[in-house]
Amino acid sequence: MTRLFPSPASPLELAVIIPVLNEADNLAPLIERIDAALDGIVWEALIVDDNSPDGTASRARLMARSDPRVRIVQRIGRRGLSSAVIEGMLASAAPVLAVIDGDLQHDETLLPKLYWAVAEQGNDLAVGTRYQEGGSTGDWDASRERMSRFATALSRRLLKAEMSDPMSGFFAVRRDVVEAAMPHLSSIGFKILMDLVASSPTRLKIAELPYTFRNRLHGTSKFDARVAQEFAILLLEKMFGRFLPVRFLMFAMVGSLGLVVHLAVLGGGIAATLPFQFAQSLAVAVAMTGNFFLNNSLTFRDMRLRGASLWRGLASFYAVGLVGAIGNVGVGAVVYRLEGIWWLAGLAGVAVGVVWNYAASSVVTWRVKR
């Protein structure tokens, strides 16, 4: 019988996933150090680049050409640390998957220990931690340090993740653990480790290994307001996502804010002795326009409209809202006729209106892909 796949002398043991965005100058020294650190382990590196303008991908290909252990996944038109890591994991066949930053801030000499903790010591997951005896955040400034500690405490409380450093981006995990969590992952934002632990159907056996977070030599951190915002959304999703999509919750929250704006404008108009109809129309216009821009930068931030499509989007948002208002009043009237309770009828109308507006605007205005 012929064998299709001759078994190699040494099968692949570990894939090192390296998410990168503008890290061209860090790649070569990183691979060199990983190679030295993983002496005796059969490894491959998956560099996942989100089409960095600094030429990170071509630099990676240059290395890959002379060293087949180095591979590259280049994503076009997408951003996100977590989703990059997941795609790197999916592109590898290794039984153990490690994740390390591409900017030399994580101490690669910890990699073999992370690997052994999973491959040989029966752990599901091994995490490099900065917050234990022997670990440290290096010289992060006080405000970044405070922010990190706050987020750590928050996620420990909310997710019941028994880890000293749930925000760590440096860890190794068994492939089947990732596969079990995969259908439940949010893949939003920066915190893939937290996502993995919170999405695992079983309680994981976790090892923690201390290391010192290094300073950056080249390039800049991608941590910004958007990363912080996505962290908040990830937390929300992990807490309430089972019941309602977080996007819908945000849409409804923006809607309630719109109601406040509406009443304020209406009240102001009446106080300024405008005729009711005029003040009411003004209030509708102001509230709807405000809601559109808030939803555009918050609720649908990942498909944010810009330029000409922004104004087209606004027009379609008005149209969707108009239909929603008709449905709202119609349903309200029916409930009122049947039950005769004004507030129940009002709430029923609003509920139908919100669900309609959410569903229709996510299809028509923002064109959410499913």
Question: Quick one: what does residue 222 bind among ligand GDD, Mn ion, none, with the CB cut-off 5 to 8 Å set by partner type?
Answer: ligand GDD
- 95 or 138: whose CB is closer to ligand GDD? 138
User: If residue 19 lies in a helix (H) or strand (E), which one and from where to where?
Assistant: strand 14-20
- Interface with ligand GDD, residue 283, by CB under 6 A: no
Looking at residue 316, its amino acid is: S
Rg (CA), the chain: 26
Residue 73 Cβ, how far from Mn ion at the closest point, in Å?
A: 20
CB of 39 to ligand GDD, least distance (A): 23
Pick the closer one to ligand GDD by CB: 7 or 220: 220
Using CB under 5 A as the binding rule, whether residue 105 contacts Mn ion is answered as yes
Smallest distance from the beta carbon of 81 to Mn ion, in angstroms? Answer: 10
Nearer to ligand GDD, 62 or 341 (CB): 62
Nearest distance from C-beta of residue 109 to ligand GDD, angstroms? 15
With binding defined as CB under 6 A, does residue 320 bind ligand GDD? no
Q: For residue 305, how many other CB atoms are within 10 A of its CB?
A: 22
Phi and psi for 125 in degrees, rounded to 5?
Answer: -150, 140
Nearer to ligand GDD, 72 or 360 (CB): 72
Q: Is 45 in the site for ligand GDD (CB under 6 A)?
A: no
Judge contact between 181 and 200, C-beta under 8 A. Answer: yes
Question: Which 46-85 residues touch ligand GDD, going by CB under 6 A?
Answer: 48-50, 79-81, 84
DSSP classification of residue 216: P
Question: Would you count residue 102 as binding ligand GDD (CB under 6 A)?
Answer: yes
In whole angstroms, the minimum distance from the beta carbon of 156 to Mn ion comes to: 22
Q: Which amino acid is at 74?
A: Q
Identity (one letter) of the amino acid at 61?
R
Closest CA to 240 of 221, 228, 253, 227: 253
Amino acid letter, residue 274: L
Coil/strand/helix, residue 265 = helix
Q: Measured from the CB atom, is 69 or 214 closer to Mn ion?
A: 214
Report what 19 binds from ligand GDD, Mn ion, none; CB cut-off 5-8 Å by kind: ligand GDD
Residue whose tokens read 């999703």: 237
User: 287, 269 in Cβ contact below 8 A?
Assistant: no
Terminal Cα-to-Cα distance of the chain (whole angstroms): 45
**Is there a contact between 262 and 284 (Cβ–Cβ < 8 Å)?**
yes
Q: Does the protein bind Mn ion through residue 103 (CB under 5 A)?
A: yes
The span of 60-68, 113-121, 163-171, 322-330 binding ligand GDD (CB under 6 A) equals 163-171
Stretch that binds ligand GDD, among 37-45, 161-169, 306-314, 362-370 (CB under 6 A): 161-169
Residue the block writes with tokens 């600094």: 54
Q: Are 205 and 122 in contact (CB under 8 A)?
A: yes
Binding site for ligand GDD (CB under 6 A): 19-21, 23, 48-50, 79-81, 84, 101-103, 105, 167-170, 190, 213, 221-223
Contact positions vs Mn ion (CB under 5 A): 103, 105
